[in-house]
């Protein structure tokens, strides 16, 4: 199988993509496989995760599905071990799984809901890095990409827990980049604005219900939401040797939203 433009920049690489059953994760898993990587598709939704693997295989690519909840240390250790058992190394990790919070003013955010957002969006990225870094440090190579958000670099009304979790992802990304910069491991984050995925399907309605409508919605400054493939292109670049001088970068892919 050859990629449309014939460039197999990820030939022979092994990639783990979390939240790969849908949206940005699925598009990135398919893109990395098209470019030659073997892809471990991680998601807690078994059906959609398996559909991603089918799409990869239908396209002539290679990969396997591992069901995991990224907020569970046990599950994360399991998918890392499974990757090593199957493929013997980890070149690329895309810590992307995440959930959106229920829109509300901070004083109305339920304690349990705050914990859940932090567990998945922030602790999930921490665990995904922690166990991959143990492997990558031994190997002496590896590249990690984490999905933050424009809410990782600025506030978003009615999304306090989500905003805090994504600021945390930015902090973890920079710290990991600093700690591992001499060990052959690069760590970067992407900050999407509005991407056309399951997460954003209900967003305009939720803003309306919360009584606060940001001026950018529903079209964003560029005039539209992103297609998940537009994020996958950036992920593939950060996962490739073409971005060899980038580490600790917090890459906005937001159609000008934060301008
Ligand atoms: N869509 C946007 O506009 C946008 C903007 C900024 C950031 N993001 C971030 O991008 C990432 C991907 O979101 P998306 O828009 O593709 O959403 P999506 O809902 O289409 O995909 C998210 C995937 O993650 C999986 N997932 C959720 N919790 C999980 C868990 N605990 N363990 C394993 N898998 C889990 C879901 O099953 C789903 O397949 C998220 O981190 C999200 O916060 C999205």
Active-site annotation holder among 79, 87, 131, 162:
162
Q: Is the CB of 198 under 6 A from ligand 1?
A: yes
* Model pLDDT, residue 216: 61
Q: Is 87 marked active-site? A: no
- Would the pLDDT of 203 be above 90? no
Measured distance CA(200)–CA(211) in Å, rounded:
17
CA of 43 to the centre of ligand 1 (A): 10
Whether the Cβ atoms of residue 39 and residue 20 lie closer than 8 Å to each other: yes
Considering only CA atoms, which of 57, 39, 24, 61 is closest in space to residue 233? 24
Q: Is the CB of 120 under 6 A from ligand 1?
A: yes
Side-chain-facing half-sphere of 57: CA atoms under 13 Å: 11
Classify 41 as helix, strand or coil.
Answer: strand
- Would the pLDDT of 144 be above 90? yes
32-71 confidence digits (pLDDT tens): 999 999 999 999 999 999 999 999 999 999 999 999 999 9
Q: Hey, which CATH number is domain 14-252, 3.40.50.720, 1.10.150.20, 1.50.10.10, 1.10.645.10? A: 3.40.50.720
Atom of ligand 1 nearest to the CA of 196: 1
66-86 confidence digits (pLDDT tens): 999 999 999 999 999 999 999
CA of 23 to the centre of ligand 1 (A): 7
Q: Is the CB of 119 under 6 A from ligand 1?
A: no
Atom of ligand 1 nearest to the CA of 75: 32
Give the global pTM: 0.95
- Tell me: cis bond preceding 218? Omega within 30 of 0 counts: yes
Q: How many residues belong to the chain?
A: 259
């Amino acid at each position: 199988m050859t990629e449309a433009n014939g460039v197999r920049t990820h030939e022979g690489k092994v990639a783990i993509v979390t939240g790969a059953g849908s949206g940005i994760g699925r598009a990135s898993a398919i893109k990395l496989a098209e470019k030659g990587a073997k892809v471990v598709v991680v998601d807690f939704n078994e059906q959609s995760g398996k559909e991603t693997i089918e799409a990869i295989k239908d396209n002539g690519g290679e990969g396997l599905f591992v069901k995991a909840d990224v907020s569970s240390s046990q599950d994360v250790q399991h998918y890392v071990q499974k990757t090593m058992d199957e493929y013997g190394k980890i070149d690329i990790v895309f810590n992307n799984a995440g959930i959106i919070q229920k829109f509300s003013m901070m004083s109305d955010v339920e304690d349990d809901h705050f914990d859940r957002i932090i567990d998945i969006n922030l602790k999930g990225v921490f665990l995904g890095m922690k166990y991959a870094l143990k492997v990558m440090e031994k190997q002496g190579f590896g590249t990690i990409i984490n999905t933050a958000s424009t809410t990782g670099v600025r506030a978003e009304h009615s999304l306090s827990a989500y905003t805090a979790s994504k600021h945390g992802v930015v902090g973890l990304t920079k710290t990991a980049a600093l700690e591992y910069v001499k060990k052959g491991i690069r760590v970067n984050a992407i900050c999407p604005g509005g991407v056309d995925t399951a997460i954003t399907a209900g967003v305009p309605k939720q803003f309306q219900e919360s009584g606060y409508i940001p001026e950018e919605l529903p079209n964003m400054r560029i005039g539209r939401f992103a297609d998940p493939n537009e994020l996958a292109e950036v992920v593939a670049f950060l996962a490739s040797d073409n971005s060899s001088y980038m580490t600790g970068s917090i890459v906005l892919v937001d159609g000008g939203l934060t301008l």
